């Protein structure tokens, strides 16, 4: 598509959400379209990953509720590391309730996600109220939202019309929604009217899946063939003997695929 053939920086002007503009520019500046899915259960491990891998990533993705020893020092330390290494924090919360409830879940509770996560995400399943509820909290804080248009897992119900309706929901809320969790740029065959960012999990160069339905593709398949923008890599990096060496490999593979895609 026409957007996928442009550089991240060139595309920044087409986004209404400030955070998307920030992310697009930071990717070209750091030469990385790699996001780490830091699915570890202790705060020491989480912060160590952020500090070690920070130089090679554009987005640090968390599941903050899997930490056994969470306390409010964690978001503080993560924020400092985000500034030190120039990356954005994405809490992969996958909100999925009515607008009024997700608003409270985003703002309040133990984690107070809106106060520290630049990016979070939501399932479109409840209807557009979920976006409006999250927006009331997130927009004044200059946050951004991703909608789950597709999933990487086997048998996912998020496909076909559901994914296309998700695209339409995002298009009506471009001030806050700047992209998707998805497996390919949508729509595939029409010229796109509006640009969105696609962040794609289910990436590994070594495995084809796990025992619980996860399905993996390579950085080339994701960025070059499917036109997605950010590769999200979890166990293939933090589970390796040398996570830094592995992160460098994925950064290079993702970046080369992007260079090939944008070559004129
Ligand atoms: O469709 C999806 C959406 C997400 S956000 N499939 C996914 O796997 N994820 C997340 O990406 C998942 O919650 C996990 O944090 C990460 C994939 O981890 P990996 O270890 O399989 O790379």
Q: How high is the ipTM of this complex?
A: 0.99
Nearest 10 degrees: CA dihedral of 10, 14, 16, 22?
-10
Q: Read out DSSP for 93-112?
A: EEE-S-HHHHHHHHHSTTT-
How many Å apart are CA 103 and CA 137, to the nearest integer? 7
The single residue of 25, 28, 86, 94 carrying the catalytic annotation is: 94
How many Å apart are CA 149 and CA 151, to the nearest integer? 7
Mutate to test the pocket of ligand 1, among 60, 119, 152, 157 (most ligand atoms within 8 A of CB): 152
Binding-site residues, ligand 1, Cβ < 6 A: 37, 39, 63, 92, 151-153, 181, 201-202, 214, 232-236
Task: Indicate if 65 belongs to the active site.
Answer: no
pLDDT tens, per residue, the chain with 264 residues: 589 999 999 999 999 999 999 999 999 999 999 999 999 999 999 999 999 999 999 999 999 999 999 999 999 999 999 999 999 999 999 999 999 999 999 999 999 999 999 999 999 999 999 999 999 999 999 999 999 999 999 999 999 999 999 999 999 999 999 999 999 999 866 667 899 999 999 999 999 999 999 999 999 999 999 999 999 999 999 999 999 999 999 999 999 999 999 996
SS3 content of the chain, % helix, strand, coil (to 5): 45, 15, 40
Instruction: Report the alpha-carbon angle 232-118-168, nearest 5.
Output: 75
Identify the residue whose C-alpha is closest to ligand 1 atom 19: 234
pLDDT of residue 246: 98
Q: Binding residue per annotation — 108?
A: no
Task: Indicate if 92 belongs to the active site.
Answer: yes
pTM score of the predicted model: 0.98
Identify the residue whose C-alpha is closest to ligand 1 atom 22: 234
Shortest CA distance to 30 belongs to which of 263, 255, 264?
A: 255
Task: Indicate if 30 belongs to the active site.
Answer: no
């Amino acid at each position: 598509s026409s957007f996928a053939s442009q550089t991240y920086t060139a595309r920044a002007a087409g986004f209404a959400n400030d955070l998307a503009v920030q992310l697009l520019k930071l990717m070209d500046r750091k030469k990385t379209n790699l996001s780490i899915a830091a699915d570890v259960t202790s705060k020491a491990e989480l912060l160590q990953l952020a500090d070690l891998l920070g130089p090679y990533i554009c987005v640090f993705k968390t599941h903050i509720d899997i930490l056994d020893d969470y306390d409010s020092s964690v978001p503080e330390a993560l924020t400092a590391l985000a500034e030190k290494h120039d990356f954005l924090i994405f809490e992969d919360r996958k909100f999925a309730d009515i607008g009024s409830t997700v608003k409270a879940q985003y703002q309040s509770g133990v984690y107070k996600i809106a106060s520290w996560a630049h990016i979070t995400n939501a399932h479109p399943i409840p209807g557009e109220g979920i976006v409006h509820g999250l927006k009331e909290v997130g927009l004044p804080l200059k946050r951004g939202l991703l909608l789950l248009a597709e999933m990487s897992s086997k048998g996912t119900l998020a496909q076909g019309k559901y994914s296309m309706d998700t695209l339409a929901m995002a298009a009506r809320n471009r001030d806050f929604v700047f992209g998707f969790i998805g497996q390919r740029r949508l729509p595939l065959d029409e010229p796109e009217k509006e640009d969105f960012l696609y962040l794609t999990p289910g990436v590994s160069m070594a495995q084809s899946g796990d025992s619980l339905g996860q399905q993996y593709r390579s950085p080339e398949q994701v960025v070059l063939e499917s036109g997605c923008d950010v590769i999200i890599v979890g166990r293939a990096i933090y589970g390796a003997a040398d996570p830094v060496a592995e992160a460098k490999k994925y950064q290079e593979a993702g970046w080369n695929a992007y260079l090939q895609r944008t070559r004129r």
